[in-house]
Amino acid sequence: MNGAVVSEPAAAAASPPTQASLEWRFSQVFGERSAGEEVQDVDIISAIEFNKSGQHLATGDRGGRVVLFERADVKDSACRKEAEKADYSVSRHPEFRYKTEFQSHEPEFDYLKSLEIEEKINKIKWCQASNGALVLLSTNDKTIKFWKVQEKKVKKVSEMNLNPLKGPTNGKPAGSNARGSSAYLPNGDISKSGGLPLLRLPVVVTSQETSLAASCRRVFTHAHDYHINSISNNSDGETFISADDLRINLWNLEISNQSFNIIDVKPTNMEDLTEVITSAEFHPTHCNTLAYSSSKGSIRLVDLRQSALCDTHSQIFEQPESPGSRSFFTEIIASISDIKFSKGGRHILSRDYMTLKLWDINMNSGPVATFQVHEYLRPKLCDLYENDSIFDKFECCQSGDGLRVATGSYSNIFRVFGSGAGSNEATTLEATRNPTRRQLQNPTRPARSLCTLTRVVRRGAESTGIDANGNSYDLTTKLLHLAWHPSENVIACAAANSLYMYYA
């Protein structure tokens, strides 16, 4: 980005000499599973997103529902300031409470293609809140919806002109009655004489109670032939993109009947297809910069200013393949499942099957840091391939200060790494009430010794196995979705149907 990027405190500022590892503590859980309770498929969480201020959190599930949480410890910024003055809340960690939920998507059937469209929420993105209403975009495989959630004071009509229970005429459609009404008015004589004194406006009593109402304001559909994997808002506040396997479309939030295809990687002959789009995101501040990742492990940066169809990228980030290490799985595990821009847009965090990589957008020769997420699985790739686990799409996230990154793994485990200069922080946490119950070995240990060890211990395990250190891992409980609070050290993560929150 020809050096125009404003340097970000996260990476540029000299980080504290030895950055202490964070001590993560359990904060809250929503929808915790009681022992022996079966998890319903529709309840499994499939998307998590904090809003920009961190005041709200949204989750989506496979049943097409969106659940909103709001921060409970500080009501709003005004309160917060007072609270800080009063030297209160210093010791308290952020807490969230359930706010509301609504059914965002329903299962559908595409009759033209004989395809069932699942209601599962793939992604949620918050838009700029306005006038007290929360607004967000949610998407399933095909359809993006624009939701407005608004608090309304409950109002009751206490007095009317006509007793609603009285005559049957009241139930009549008003049109017929009302239309003729002006005929009864003798040309404004009444208005001069002070009107009809008997006529009263309905008296409305506003109670203190409020109710939250979610309404779908717009539906963006019929623009994707393949499954939508990401949506992302532009910093201009009026446009967003939606990406499927082969195309990225640009929409205006106000206009739902047209979109522009800006990236199309579909080859003329589908047999020539070697690479698909796996994730896409707008730069947080540059309205014209867009990044998308591919199944071949590359990240492309696109400048929307250059042309209307952005088939040529302005930069490509790829890790050169190390010679000799190539195997059948190399390409599969190179596939990037998620990318995220850092807060200031200087870095891009990417997650592939085995690692988390941090890229500096000014350096495309290789990542500035690579974090091994679950190296102990490397010898098991064959099993993982056979049961399709190798295609699991893990998300990643970065802390608001840019000093740490996090991503999920199997056995409901997620890992937090220090990404600041000189940090070797690497924490393993389990999404339970006691996150540090199970401590894995130091992950930075050379992978080779692990291989030799595991070969000895290896068993013909299917979905559960024992790793080098005798820790079992469970492929059925995978922690795919997690999000880091934009300003505090709070991580929200999904373990099946439960939402766990941790703070440090």
Partner 1 sequence: MATMDALIYPIAILVDELKNDDIQLRLNSIRRLSTIARALGEERTRKELIPFLSENNDDQDEVLLAMAGELGVFIPYVGGVEHAHVLLSPLETLCTVEETCVRDKAVESLCRIGAQMKESNIVDWFIPVVKRLAAGEWFTARVSSCGIFHIAYPSAPDQLKAELRTIYGQLCQDDMPMVRRAAASNLGKFAATVEQSYLKTGIMSIFDDLTQDDQDSVRLLAVEGCAALGKLLEPQDCVAHILPVIVNFSQDKSWRVRYMVANQLYELCEAAGPEHSREHLVPAYVRLLRDNEAEVRIAAAGKVTKFCRILSPQLAIQRILPCVKELSSDSSQHVRSALASVIMGMAPVLGKDATIEQLLPIFLSLLKDEFPDVRLNIISKLDQVNQVIGIDLLSQSLLPAIVELAEDRHWRVRLAIIEYIPLLASQLGVGFFNDKLGALCMQWLEDKVFSIREAAANNLKRLAEEFGPEWAMQHIIPRVLEKINNPHYLCRMTILQAISLLAPVMGAEITCQKLLPVVINSSKDRVPNIKFNVAKVLQTLVSILDQSVVEKTVKPCLVELSEDPDVDVRYYANQALQACDQIMMSS
Query: Which residues contact partner 1 (rule: CB under 8 A)?
Result: 128, 130-133, 135, 148, 150, 152-153, 155, 157, 160-162, 164, 169-170, 173-175, 177-178, 180-182, 184-185, 188, 190-196, 198-202, 204, 206, 215, 217, 235-239, 254, 286-288, 304-308
* CB of 99 vs partner 1, minimal distance in Å: 18
* CB of 424 vs partner 1, minimal distance in Å: 37
* CB of 132 vs partner 1, minimal distance in Å: 7
* H runs (alpha helix) in 255-408: 330-334, 381-386
Residue type, 459: R
* CB of 286 vs partner 1, minimal distance in Å: 8
Taking the least distance from each CB to partner 1, the nearer of 157 and 382 is: 157
Residue type, 442: N
Residue type, 475: L
Sort 85 into a burial class: Cβ within 10 Å, 0-12 / 13-18 / 19+. exposed
* CB of 76 vs partner 1, minimal distance in Å: 11
Per-state percent for the chain, helix, strand, coil, to nearest 5: 15, 40, 50
* CB of 122 vs partner 1, minimal distance in Å: 25
Tokens describing residue 157: 């009509």
Tokens describing residue 289: 């910069």
* CB of 21 vs partner 1, minimal distance in Å: 36
* CB of 172 vs partner 1, minimal distance in Å: 8
* CB of 131 vs partner 1, minimal distance in Å: 5
* CB of 147 vs partner 1, minimal distance in Å: 11
**CA–CA separation, 480 and 495 (whole Å):** 8
* CB of 361 vs partner 1, minimal distance in Å: 17
Taking the least distance from each CB to partner 1, the nearer of 110 and 151 is: 151
Taking the least distance from each CB to partner 1, the nearer of 262 and 336 is: 262
Cα–Cα nearest to 243, from 365, 179, 336, 332: 336
Taking the least distance from each CB to partner 1, the nearer of 283 and 357 is: 283
Taking the least distance from each CB to partner 1, the nearer of 210 and 424 is: 210
The pair phi, psi for residue 99, each rounded to 5°, is: -110, -60
Tokens describing residue 37: 């309770």
**Count of CB atoms within 10 A of residue 116's CB?**
11
Taking the least distance from each CB to partner 1, the nearer of 309 and 382 is: 309
Taking the least distance from each CB to partner 1, the nearer of 191 and 472 is: 191
* H runs (alpha helix) in 226-288: none
Strand 404-408 to strand 482-484: parallel, antiparallel, or no bridges (unpaired)? unpaired
Stated as kind and residue range, the H or E segment containing 218 is strand 203-220
The pair phi, psi for residue 19, each rounded to 5°, is: -80, 120
Q: Could you say which DSSP state residue 7 is in?
A: P
* The CA-based dihedral angle spanning residues 63, 64, 65, 66, taken in that order and rounded to the nearest 10 degrees: 140
- Radius of gyration of the chain from Cα atoms? 27
Taking the least distance from each CB to partner 1, the nearer of 152 and 326 is: 152
* H runs (alpha helix) in 348-482: 381-386, 447-457
DSSP string, 51-113: -TTSSEEEEEETTSEEEEEEE-S--SHHHHHHHHHTT-SSSPPP-EEEEEEEE----EEETTT
Cα–Cα nearest to 283, from 74, 494, 6, 68: 6
Taking the least distance from each CB to partner 1, the nearer of 193 and 322 is: 193
Tokens describing residue 17: 């000499």
Taking the least distance from each CB to partner 1, the nearer of 305 and 326 is: 305
Sort 487 into a burial class: Cβ within 10 Å, 0-12 / 13-18 / 19+. middle
Taking the least distance from each CB to partner 1, the nearer of 127 and 492 is: 127
* CB of 135 vs partner 1, minimal distance in Å: 7
The pair phi, psi for residue 255, each rounded to 5°, is: -120, 115
**CA–CA separation, 358 and 336 (whole Å):** 12
Taking the least distance from each CB to partner 1, the nearer of 200 and 455 is: 200
